[in-house]
Every structure is written in structure tokens, then in C-alpha cells.
Chains A and B, each alone.
Chain A
Amino acid sequence: MILSTLQAGAATGLLYGLLDLWYWVMTQAWKVTGLEMISPEYTFMHRAVLVGLCIGVMAPVIGTFLVHRQLALIGDALAHTAFAGVAVGLFLNSVLMIGVSPYLTAVVVAVIAALCIELISETTDAYNDVSMAIVLSTGFALGSTLISLNAGGLAVGINQYLFGNLSTVSADNAVILLVLFAIIVVTVAITRNQLLYVTFDETAAAVAGFSVTWYNRIMVMLTALVVVGAMQIMGVILVAAMLVVPVAGATQLSRSFRESIFVSIALAELAVLLGIGVAYYAEATAGGVIVLVAVALYGCSVAVGKLLDRLGPESSPTVAPIQADDDTTGD
């Protein structure tokens, strides 16, 4: 018990240490570039950039699997339930006077909702989008009901969650995001083979001995974590765009799956950094600007993709003759 408390303390210390290291990196970058938005006085911007960079990796990585499973809208459904989770957190804080972070309640509610989407699909004959629509509506209904029960303070506080806000990324929230980021990246790195197989050919993956049900559940739970993590900057309404738009762009430009993941990350990072920059100087909402930049990049990707197709090799290789297995004949 004491040991685990110490370990938890050490892990938390490490995460805040990482955050301090990031402040230092940003300060050095400010010294080189002289950019006002990352000056040492604005540590909230340092945190916003860190959160943005993490979103730029985890959203397209998970989004790549979702888009190619034709689950592009699941992010929207989970974002609305994450909104319910935020409302639950604010409600508990207000009624029970406890200091739980609304992001943590959002994680819990979104993960439960993610599993509900899968369970509805597994236990009924409904299409996936039907279960998503049910969970989306329930989430938003729960959120709006809780807020209306405790009007005034809650309704004002909810705005930052709906639209996202660069300046409200606290150190605690940045640390929560780092934890979510680590969970997502490590899980995908470990299960990448299985997730790819299930995404590409569910039946063949089942024949190969992989539990399609469990990998689907893992995928939706990871999506819930991405949504909550990205919600801080993007806001509930636009968070799903980061799961879909960079991936759609990368699909136009890439030949292989591996390439598509890296290209989607590059597009997402570009959108996040440009978006945060423009939002800061134009005093606009970051989430909206990031999505507009991402959509512009998608438009460019479509144009470049078409051009590459035209310039591509016209001649097609021919199929070579079938070969007998030398190894078996040699045995």
C-alpha cells in the first residue's frame, strides 16, 4: 500500500518534471525565434502547444483505424458523451463540494459510452451508426439535463468545454493529457498488428485467431481517451474533426498504411501548430481555426493526390508465372 502510494507519487512527480522540461524547451525556442506567443510569461501557451502536439499524434493514429473501419462518426458520438462526463464532474463538484477534475469524469463516462456503443452493436442487429446515434443523443441529453438542474455557474463553466480554450489548459490538465497520450501510444504500439488485421479484414482476423470483439472494444476505448484529451483545446463540438480530417487527407497521398499514419500525423501537427498560432494572434477560438486549417490541408491533399495519380506510372507490371514451392520439394 505504502509502496504503491510512493510509486504513484514518483510517477506524478515525473510527469510534472516533464512539464517543467517542456517549459524550458519552449523558453529556448522563444529565445531563438522571439515569438511572443511562447514567451516565458505565457506558460499557458507552452501547455497549449504541448497538448496540441500530443493531439496531433494520438488523434490521427486512432483516426486512421476508425476511418478505415467506416467509424468516422464515432468521435462525434463520444465527444457528446464526454460532454455529459464534464457535466457530471461539474455537477458533483457543485453538489457534493468535491474537487474532482471534470476531465477525469469525462474519461470515465466516455469510456463507458464507448463500451455501450460496442455492446449495442454486438447484442442487437443494429448498424454501427444506429448505436452511435443512440449513445450520442443520450450523452448530450444527460449533459444538458445536468446543467439545467444546476443553472447559473455550470452553464457559464460549460462554454470552455464546448468550444475549447487555449488559456484554460492547466498544469493538472496537461498532466492528465500526458497520461492519456502514453496509454494510447503504448497500446497502439503493442496491438498494432491485431488492430491493422481487424481493420482490414475482420473475418480473416477472426480466422487467424484474434478476438475481433476485444480489439473493437480496445479501439473504441482508445477513441474515448483521445476525445477527452483533445477536448481541452478543440472543444466537444469540433474534437471529432481531428480524428477524421487529417486521415482523409493522408488517404489521398499515401500508398501504404504505414505511410498514411505518418502523413496524417504530419498534416495534423501542421494544422494544430498553424491553428494555435493564428488563433493566438487573431484572438480567435483555437478549435475552430485548427479545424479550418486541417480542412484547407485536406483540400490541398486531394489536389496533390489527383496530380500524383496523373503523373503516376502508366504501365502496369505483368503477373509473373506461378511458382512451385522449392522448400517442400527439397524436404
Chain B
Amino acid sequence: MTETPVVDLDGVTFGYTQTPVIEDISITVDAGEYAAVVGPNGSGKSTLMKLALGLLSPDDGSARLFGDPAASFDDGQRLGYVAQHASATKAMPITVREVVKMGRFPHVGFSGLSTTDWEIVDRALERVGMSAFADRRITQLSGGQRQRAFIARALAGEAELLVLDEPTVGVDAESVASFYDLLDLLSAEGITILLIEHDLSAVTDHVDRVICLNRTVYFDGPAETFVQSDALDRAFGAVSVK
């Protein structure tokens, strides 16, 4: 018996208007995979992520998460999410530890955090190398440090699937490198990673599988093969034609 895929999109079509942004896409991501979705601006990458996470419902086809319909999936403990810029541009007074603490909220519900929960939070901070920043305001951090804090939040939540939506936008090159080292380590430890990324060199150097998208799938396979294929030209070429 085969294992249930973590993400299972089957014939998914979706559009915010009559024109579909995503058309007839079928992708499965299995447990432990390290996959990246790449494509030009407006290719439907973020929409695909929202469909996979159940934040949007497909117009056609089905989206499943851990075997359950994604739209009604409510086991937030299994998911970790890191957004582009991660909303931290707000001038909100909140410390790094308070942000990482949120990873425990799906576990504790309406209760406060127990000693064990706090230990998990502190361990997550330690793992991403951010313990020294725990009591800093998140707005005082650099882009790279901030994204580490958001990874720590997902680790504190003990997520099985980590979804990152262009996490390195606005992050300096050195921090991007160490950010990817962190993702590599998490992948080696068995966490399933689905990455939406515009930085193609970072993607091909690190991930195992590349899904190249522009409304439909132009390429889906190992990163090495992607570099040699003409999928990129075709996908990006489709934009200029449109």
C-alpha cells in the first residue's frame, strides 16, 4: 500500500475571474520531499500554494492535504507557513519569542503555554540560531533574521509540511545562503518542504524537485534535469507571448 501524499492536486483549475490562473494541474508531493515551484510573475505560483493549503477552493478538480480535502483540513499542527516579508513590516511591538510562540497555538488552543511548550519554543529558537534575539522586537531584525524566526515558528509547531512563499525576497545574498542551509538541514531531517521561489539559482542548488509553472505545468522533475531542459524558456516565453 502506498503512503498518502502530503499534497495532492488532481486536475485543479482555478481563476479569480473567468480566466483561469491555474489550469488542469495535477501534482503530488510525498512525505519528505524537498520541492520548489518556480515560474514568472503572475504564473499562478502563490495561487497554487493557496489551493494546496486549502486557503482557496478549486473551481475544478480536487485538492487534498494529508489525504483530506484541503479546504476543510483543520489540523493546523501539521502545517508551517512562511510568507514573503512575513507581515513584519508592521510597526507592531512583538518579540521574536512571541512570534515563535504562535507555532504552539494550534496545539494549545484556548489555553496558555505549558512549561513543555515553552521548552519547545526555546529549542526552536536555538535550532535556527536565534536564541540571542528572543527578546528583540521582530521589526528590529534584518530580513534574513526575520525569516529564520518564522522558520522557528513552524518548528515550534512541529509541522510536517513547511510551505514557504518567496521567503528570500528582500533578503541579502549571505543571509539567503544560510537560510537555504537551514532548509537543507530540515529537509534532511524529514520535513516535507514546498517552496515558492523566484531565485532560480538558489532553487536548483538546493531542492530535489522543481515544478515550473505558468498557468499549467511546464516541467516537473529533478533539479538537475530542469537546468538542462528548455522548460524555463518555454514558461517565461509564454509570458511575453501573452
Taking beta carbons and an 8 Å cutoff, which residues of A are in contact with B?
68, 70, 190-191, 193-194, 196-197, 199-204, 206-210, 250-251, 254-260, 317-325, 328
Contacts and interface: CB of A to CB of B under 8 A. Distances in A.
Interface stretch (B34-42, B127-135, B202-210): B127-135
Contact of B92 (A193, A257, A320, A325): A257
B34 to A, nearest CB: 16
Given A207-B79, A319-B148, 14 more contacts: A193-B109, A200-B87, A200-B92, A201-B83, A203-B55, A207-B53, A207-B76, A209-B73, A209-B75, A319-B129, A320-B129, A322-B128, A322-B129, A322-B185
Interface string B137-157: 100000011001000010001
Contact of A201 (B79, B87, B181): B87
Given A190-B110, A191-B110, A255 B132 contact: no
Nearest to B99: A200
Nearest to B135: A255
B233 interface: no
A209 B80 CA distance: 11
A200 B105 CA distance: 13
B231 interface: no
B10 to A, nearest CB: 21
Given A193-B105, A251-B91, A319 B145 contact: yes
Interface residues of B, number: 50
Interface in B83-138: 83, 86-87, 90-95, 98-99, 102, 105-106, 108-110, 126-133, 135-137
Contact of B127 (A254, A260, A318, A323): A323
A255 B105 contact: no
Contacts of B126: 320, 323
B222 interface: no
23 contacts: A68-B90, A194-B105, A194-B110, A199-B92, A200-B99, A201-B86, A203-B87, A204-B87, A204-B102, A207-B76, A208-B105, A209-B76, A209-B79, A251-B92, A255-B135, A256-B93, A256-B95, A256-B135, A257-B93, A257-B98, A260-B93, A317-B132, A317-B133
Contacts of B229: none
B81 interface: yes
Interface of B: 53, 55, 73-77, 79-81, 83, 86-87, 90-95, 98-99, 102, 105-106, 108-110, 126-133, 135-137, 144-145, 148, 153, 157, 163, 178, 181-182, 185, 189-190
Chain A interface mostly: helix
Contacts of B157: 208
B22 to A, nearest CB: 18
B131 A320 contact: yes
B132 A318 contact: yes
A50 to B, nearest CB: 29
A200 B94 contact: yes
Contact of A251 (B80, B93, B133, B136): B93
A259 B98 CA distance: 11
Contacts of B102: 193, 196-197, 200-201, 204, 208
B127 A203 contact: no
Contacts of A203: 55, 81, 83, 87
A262 to B, nearest CB: 11
A196 B105 CA distance: 10
Nearest to A189: B110
Q: Which 9 A-B pairs have the closest CB atoms?
A: A209-B76, A317-B132, A320-B129, A208-B76, A207-B81, A254-B93, A260-B93, A68-B92, A256-B95
A319 B141 CA distance: 11
Contacts of A70: 90
B199 to A, nearest CB: 19
Contacts of B132: 317-320
B76 A324 contact: no
Given A201-B83, A206-B55, A323 B129 contact: yes
A255 B137 contact: yes
B136 to A, nearest CB: 8
B94 A324 contact: no
A137 to B, nearest CB: 28
A325 B93 contact: no
Nearest to A67: B92
A212 B55 CA distance: 11
A1 B153 CA distance: 49
A214 to B, nearest CB: 13
